[in-house]
Structure 1
Amino acid sequence: MRFWPLMLLCCLFNITVPNAKTNETLNIGLLVASKGQRAAYHQLAEAFEQQHQDLRIVFTVQNDKQYKASIEKWLTQKNGFDVVYWQAGERMDQFASQGLLEPLNDLWQKNNWLTHFPQRITRTVQQGDSLYAVPFAFYQWSIYYKKSLFSRMALTPPKTWNEFLVVCATLKSNGITPIVVGGKQNWPVAAWFDYLNLRINGLAFHQQLMAGKINYTEPRVKSVFSALKQLIDLGYLLSGSQAKNWQDAMPYVYRDLAGMTLLGSFVEQQFVEQFRDDIGFFRFPQIDSKIPLFEETPIEVFMIPKNAQNKPAAQLFLSFIGRSDIQESLSKNLGYLSPHLQATRTNNYHSNQEPYIFADNHDITQFYDRDTTKSMSVDGMQLMSEFLNNPDVSLITHKLEQVRLRAFPQSNIK
């Protein structure tokens, strides 16, 4: 599906970037998940065309499933898109390592982006000495809860795992299931695995596991599933979580049928208005005080394919999307947050709390299916979802190891 923003008559901005040819089309591949996102990108394109009246943006829009099935074909065909949306980390690395992306070092230097983005974000779009993308939005993960419910039970957001278990026990003793997981799409369960692994074993271990260099039957991996099994065995997870969509989670919290849910900040666009002011959030609790609070921070990026037809225009667009004011407005409209250090992040649900990524110096990860290979993540997340109904630690780690051996046949086991 394609849509064309209107060409407006006035030029509002002036910046120094490469000159594009006149009367050109800029073709952009775009993943859109909602009408709200479609409108946000439409506004972005109109703002760009106001500045560059000799260019017309043409978006090729697909949903999540279609886009992920199409992008490799687009990057390898003879005539490619000028710009493509994608995701930082392993998902970008796989294309960069194949030589399918245009290095952007000169563009980063010209726009002084190394000083405008946190280093931990810059690293997610870098492979070796080359930078291959421009980050324009991110979202963080938190545990959401109903503030009036916590107040009624004299509960405060827990900072440690032991405090979290006390909160769960209090909710359950009052007839409220502590946690709801929308496990039908599998990936919400992977968030629990990622966070437990980061909090129990740390970032280096997590990264090695994602790279296929650690056996899933290793005791430290089993300890992650043992922690999740503890929640299941104590009856802290809502029955039937495996059959629920992620969108189903918050209504259980609204109605005091569940106390908490772990989701990305994208869920905030789904909040029912009457409950919006009554929903709070807290970061995933600390388990080992010696391990820093690493966070899941999926980052959205734009890249220039090696087979792009209009690279000067593509550079114009990336220079535009890399500006703090543009990121500020786009992220607000998308319901995300801007990674640009000069962007204001006060016009969203996180207005009273600086996002974790800017609040401390701890490093970040993307997400299970963004940090490991597709061949590992698809079956891996399915097994994690099945674990909710059959919490057998030995069984799931054995099955995950079989998947790892298929996904990483040449890996070295540590």
Structure 2
Amino acid sequence: MSRRSLMRGAVAGAGAIALPALLTACGGGPGGDGKTVTLGSNASDPMPKKAFADAFSAYAKQSEGGRKVKVNIVDHNTFQENINRYLQGKPDDVFMWFAGYRMQFFAEKGLLHDISDIWAKYEGFSDALKAQSTGADGKQYLTPYYYYPWAVFHRKSVFQKYGYTAPRTLDEYLALAKQMQKDKLIPIAFCDKDGWPAMGTFDYINMRSNGYEFHKNLMAGEESWTDNRVRDVFDTWRSILPYCQPGANGRTWQEAATSLQKKQTGMAVFGLPHPGQQFPEDERDDLDFFPFPEIGAEHGQDAVEAPIDGFLLAKKSKSLKNDKTMESAKDLLSWLATGEAEDVYLAGDPNNIAVSDRADTSKYTPLQKKAVELVSGARQISQFLDRDTRPDFSSTVMVPAIQDFINDPKDVDGLVHGIERQKKTIFTSES
């Protein structure tokens, strides 16, 4: 997919632990008032939590008839790991989730409400954003809200102090890492306790080495994980690991991002919100990034990871059987699709980028403007490993596989054979 078409509108996105009881529908069901919409939120960190609260409060103030949102917040990782059970159990009316394959998978399972009727009235979204919100049946299921790019983040002051320059190639990246070690810095902040952060590094090495199309086909189960191209990805990654923070599987993304903020580490492969949320407001101007370095000239730095987040309606919500609650839920989504709604959110969380061309970009920070340039200048856009593939494959196979690799990067042969064996079972099943 062309990233220019995807973001044209944005420039002017079964776990083992049961969800807490609070993440259940409790709004206007058959016995409710029809005006209260429950919303399952994975925005558990302080900054997005407050920004969403501001947005939902703004909605309630402007809505007709006293409509309001009751937000049920669950830890981000717990929400993500248990999304399948959540959607098949007693979900909220509306919930936060992701565009692309992760949305399409649940649409095919009949777990989402079709919102094509209100999507037809949305304004300010590009055709490519619509495509990312569309299921295999051609119907729309997601209301996109924002996107954010992944890159290599660092502090300007650290680079200025030591005279570092942003590397363009892998060789330059490794040379910079070696110099950081000499300067008594840990070169690369690294973490994977949450099970997903290291996926960004895998994706970038894969796309830089083998191109976006191979990434897409590998995630779709159409390429073999025993292919030499995949082995090369892990071999390349192994050459980077000596410069990464040790003990990554015991470190959360917040801890890794904080080490960057404290100038203990020199660089970090992250999405824009992750270091942004850990930097105090008076230090945020010191945060900068460069694109993940080129590995093969054929693919250069063409592809960019730029996940899109948004809102969906849960098919199994009992409350939505009430026509008035369904009307209220769709009214909420229609408001969230406006530039005004994005403006309210981004005023409290300037670590994301609006998807609507009706949003006010005049107040964007220099970092946000640079993020827009990065995405609009890419030739392809990926949604991230755990969004570009089946959720069961991501959670049950790739999370432990990458963590195993981080613990013992020597046995690449055994690793890829194990992934391929499990992939065949999952992608040929109907589960």
Band of TM-score, shorter chain: 0.7 to 0.9
- Alpha carbons 1:380, 1:403 under 8 Å: kept: no
Task: Give the Cα–Cα distance (whole angstroms) in 2 for the partners of residues 68 and 256 of structure 1.
Answer: 30
Cα deviations across residues 339-380 of structure 1 (Å, max 9, x unaligned)?
A: 112323444462452425652252322222222223322231
Q: When the two structures are aligned, how many residues end up with a matched partner?
A: 388
Residue of structure 2 equivalent to 1:13: none
Which structure has the higher relative contact order (CA within 8 Å, separation 6+)?
2
Amino acid at match of 2:273: F
TM-score by length of 2: 0.81
TM-score by length of 1: 0.84
Q: Which moved more, 1:139-148 or 1:220-229?
A: 139-148
Note the C-alpha offset of 1:97.
0.7
| Counterpart mapping for 1:245-256 below 5 A | 245-256=252-263
Residue of structure 2 equivalent to 1:220: 229
With over 3 angstroms needed to count, the CA separation of the structure-2 counterparts of 1:170 and 1:137, relative to structure 1, is same
Residue of structure 1 equivalent to 2:56: 45
With over 3 angstroms needed to count, the CA separation of the structure-2 counterparts of 1:376 and 1:167, relative to structure 1, is same
Aligned to 2:38, the other structure's residue is in SS state strand
Residue of structure 2 equivalent to 1:294: 303
Note the C-alpha offset of 1:260.
0.8
Residue identity over aligned pairs, in percent, reads 26
Amino acid at match of 1:40: A
Q: Which moved more, 1:127-136 or 1:30-39?
A: 30-39
Cα deviations across residues 231-277 of structure 1 (Å, max 9, x unaligned)?
A: 13xx3223333332222223433454422111111220111456433
Task: Give the Cα–Cα distance (whole angstroms) in 1 for the partners of residues 186 and 82 of structure 2.
Answer: 41
> Does residue 208 of the first structure (1) align with residue 226 of the second (2)?
no
Aligned to 1:183, the other structure's residue is in SS state coil
| Counterpart mapping for 1:31-180 below 5 A | 31-54=42-65, 55-68=67-80, 71-72=83-84, 75-76=87-88, 81-112=92-123, 116-128=124-136, 129-180=138-189
Structure 1 runs of 4+ with >6 Å offset = none
Residue of structure 2 equivalent to 1:338: 354
Amino acid at match of 2:337: G
With over 3 angstroms needed to count, the CA separation of the structure-2 counterparts of 1:230 and 1:97, relative to structure 1, is same
Residue of structure 2 equivalent to 1:280: 288
Residue of structure 2 equivalent to 1:14: none
Alignment RMSD, CA only?
2.8
With over 3 angstroms needed to count, the CA separation of the structure-2 counterparts of 1:249 and 1:204, relative to structure 1, is same
Aligned to 1:179, the other structure's residue is in SS state strand
Q: Which moved more, 1:65-74 or 1:277-286?
A: 65-74
Unaligned runs of 5+ in 1: 4-20
- Alpha carbons 2:150, 2:271 under 8 Å: kept: yes
Aligned to 2:409, the other structure's residue is in SS state coil
- Alpha carbons 1:295, 1:356 under 8 Å: kept: no
Task: Give the Cα–Cα distance (whole angstroms) in 2 for the partners of residues 377 and 70 of structure 1.
Answer: 13
Task: Give the Cα–Cα distance (whole angstroms) in 1 for the partners of residues 232 and 215 of structure 2.
Answer: 13
> Does residue 182 of the first structure (1) align with residue 197 of the second (2)?
no
Unaligned runs of 5+ in 2: 1-21, 25-31
Task: Give the Cα–Cα distance (whole angstroms) in 1 for the partners of residues 266 and 79 of structure 2.
Answer: 35
Aligned to 2:354, the other structure's residue is in SS state coil
Residue of structure 2 equivalent to 1:355: 372
With over 3 angstroms needed to count, the CA separation of the structure-2 counterparts of 1:22 and 1:269, relative to structure 1, is same
Residue of structure 2 equivalent to 1:391: 409
Residue of structure 2 equivalent to 1:238: 245
